[in-house]
Each structure stands twice: as structure tokens, then as C-alpha cells.
Amino acid sequence: MIILNSIRTIKLKIPAKKASPAPPVGPTLGQEGLNINEFCKEFNVKSTPYKNNIEIPTILKVNWNKTYKMILKPPHIAQLIKQLTINVPLEYRKYQISDKEVLTLKQVYELAVFLRTHSKEFEFSEVKSVVLIILGTVQSMGLNICIK
């Protein structure tokens, strides 16, 4: 007799702290016969470190007895950077060279510290290395950095 640990893997992208029985969460979990309200409560609690409207990649491993294991992956760095550029103070916007968005070095450092504490990918990396990765992403997105 073969016992399977998980019979199905479900991948979802759900906004942080906004899981609800509405589509796409409700119908997807309903097809598997999972308790939708229990999942929504659990997801909303686990996604509290993230700001609202940041999509969190979520993997569900569904077992044969309708239990599941939820794995929250960290959001993409580009998505976190876009969220930061919305909240740039107006005093830094006067340093813009063009119409591009501005990001401060303090915000980049805070994002690096956040990623080190909440992401398994950067858990053992130095803050300097994570800052360099973020700066590379900022450069490829075409954003400006304000050094003030």
C-alpha cells in the first residue's frame, strides 16, 4: 500500500491581509474541498508583516484527507520597490533628474533588513549583499536613488 503525502499542489498569488472567499481563492479551494474561511484567517494572520496589496506567492500542499500545508514565499523584490516608491516624501522628489520615481538609500537599507528577517533566501546573506541586489533591481527598473 502506497501512502501519498500530498496529492495536489496549488499555487496562488494573494494580496497580503486580504484573503477572502471571493475569487480566485474561494473557487480554487472549494474544488479541493478545503475549509475556505479557515484558510483565509490563517493566511491573513501569516501575511501581517507585509503591507496591503502586495501579492504574496502562496503554495498549498493538499493531502488526501483534506488537510493542507501553507507555504508563503516572499514577494518579488520589484513589487516591494514599487510599493516603496509610492510613499516617497515630497522633499526628496525635488532631486529628481527626470520623471522617474525616486528611492532613498534609507528605504533601500530598510528593505534589505526586512528581506533578511522575513525571507529564507536572504537569511544568511550580509545586509551589504542584499542592498547590492536591491540596487541592481532598482537600476534595472529605471528608478533613481536619492543620496540624502
Domains in the chain, ordered, with CATH? Answer: 8-72 (3.30.1550.10), 77-146 (no CATH)
User: What mean pLDDT comes out for the span 103-116?
Assistant: 88
Phi, psi of 14 (to 5 degrees): -120, 135
Instruction: Give, for 14, the enclosing helix (H) or strand (E).
Output: strand 8-15
State the alpha helices, DSSP H only, in 1-146: 25-32, 36-46, 77-86, 90-93, 105-118, 127-141
How far apart (Å, rounded) are the C-alpha atoms in residues 62 and 16? 21
Q: Which residue has the cell 508583516?
A: 49
Question: Which pLDDT score is estimated for 98?
Answer: 47
111-135 pLDDT, tens digit each: 999 888 888 888 888 999 999 999 9
Q: Which residue has the cell 484567517?
A: 41
72-95 pLDDT, tens digit each: 888 888 888 888 776 555 555 455
Question: What pTM, to 2 d.p., does this model score?
Answer: 0.71
Question: Which pLDDT score is estimated for 59?
Answer: 93
How far apart (Å, rounded) are the C-alpha atoms in residues 142 and 146? 13
Select the more confidently predicted residue: 7 or 20: 20
